[in-house]
Amino acid sequence: MNSNSTTTDSDGKYSFDNFFNISADLICIAGYDGYFKRINPSVSKLLGYSEEELYAKPISAFVYSPDLKLTLETREQVYKSKPLLNFENRYLTKSGEIVWLSWTSMPVDANQLIYAIAKNITHKKKVEGERNLLLSNLTQINKELRILSHKTSHDLKSPINNMLSVFSLIDVSKIDDEETLELINILKLTSENLKDTLNDSIDTLIENANINTQVEEINFNECLIEVLVSINSLIVDSKASITFDFSEVENVVFNKAYIKSIFLNLLTNSIKYSKPSSVPTVKIRSTVVNGINQLIFSDEGLGFDLDKVKDKIFGLYEKFHTNDDTNSTGIGLYLVYNHITSLGGRIAVESKINEGATFTISFKY
């Protein structure tokens, strides 16, 4: 008979020795005296001890010392005929490695025995630890960014108010040169827009202190126009060509400050990273795909090598172009990504070097 087949004993009952021996899970029978009575090969294989070594010492000798107290307390409950389900603790292997086990144990009081099965969950615990560390780091980064945002918004208010005061002192009636008058008007308008933007940012920071970010029905065209006015000088100087079409989807439920920040960061990036020999060209349109409202933002600039940067493109402080200067902080795309995903949306990017980039934003509502 094949050694892996199920056999029967003299009474015709099935013997499950083969199942016991080949199981990848740790299967054991322990006595109320705290010693192993029978173990399958997986126990010895994982812990690195021979069966003789495992039988010779109390089970508690193999438990990782920081978990020993809780393990003994939990075992006392099992001795009181209380089944144990999914109890997690750590064991120390012979080589000194720490392994995590998840136990399910059933007591048989009449025989003073405990039948137990354990799963090796070390990899799961490692992934959880890495995730928790990442979340902790992101929480700290977001905290620092909020502090920086508050500080920056507050510190900039005074010089901007001073600039506006200077404009109020200028007697434009005594200026005959139309070009100078136009320049003064542009500077004044830009300063006023900057002040409004800072005030909106402060209001948003206060709102975001709450768990839920406020959403409302917003108009793409209105928000974009406000952003275009605020960066009018940059657009004029760069001779940028910006076209937009929101005929398919005019409105979307979102946070207004977020959408303006998205427009601002994507537009300024497209202008900043345009090809040196070309005028910045940006196309923005809305569409509906499978019932989902989308915003498509494309340019014809330097683009990205996605094979190299796809895992970093929305990272904090990441820069991807050799002409990145001190004015580049590496925060723009990070903000765009977080604005979208924090409200349940998604963003995807397609790009090739010197062929521009296309960002597709899918909204939750």
DSSP character string of 241-306: EEEEE-SS--EEEE-HHHHHHHHHHHHHHHHHTS-TTS--EEEEEEEEETTEEEEEEEE-SS---H
What would the mean pLDDT of 102-126 be, rounded to a whole number?
93
Comparing 233 with 322, which gets the higher pLDDT? 233
Full-model pTM = 0.49
Could you tell me which residues come within 8 angstroms of residue 148 by beta carbon, excluding any fewer than 6 positions away? none
pLDDT at 3 over 50: no
Tell me the CA distances in angstroms from 198 to 159, 191, 203, 354, one per residue in order: 12, 10, 9, 34
Report the chain's mean pLDDT, rounded to a whole number: 83
Q: What pLDDT is stored for residue 329 in this prediction?
A: 53
Confidence of residue 88 (pLDDT cuts 50, 70, 90): very high
What would the mean pLDDT of 76-99 be, rounded to a whole number?
92
Name 308's bridge partners: none
Comparing 138 with 83, which gets the higher pLDDT? 83
Q: What pLDDT is stored for residue 149 in this prediction?
A: 65
Q: Where in the chain is the domain with CATH 1.10.287?
A: 122-211
CA–CA separation, 178 and 236 (whole Å): 18
CA–CA separation, 227 and 261 (whole Å): 8
Q: Where in the chain is the domain with CATH 3.30.450.20?
A: 7-120
The CATH fold assigned to 122-211 is: Helix Hairpins (1.10.287)
Q: Which of 17-31, 78-92, 135-149, 315-329 has the lowest mean pLDDT?
A: 315-329
How many CB atoms are closer than 10 A to CB 230? 20
pLDDT at 266 over 90: yes
Q: Where in the chain is the domain with CATH 3.30.565.10?
A: 213-365
Confidence of residue 234 (pLDDT cuts 50, 70, 90): confident
Has domain 7-120 been given CATH number 3.40.50.360? no
Question: Which numeric CATH code is attached to 213-365?
Answer: 3.30.565.10
Q: Is the dihedral of CA 85, 86, 90, 93 positive or negative?
A: positive
Where do we find the tokens 């126009």?
225
pLDDT in tens, 8-63: 454 444 556 777 888 899 999 999 999 999 999 999 999 999 999 999 999 999 99
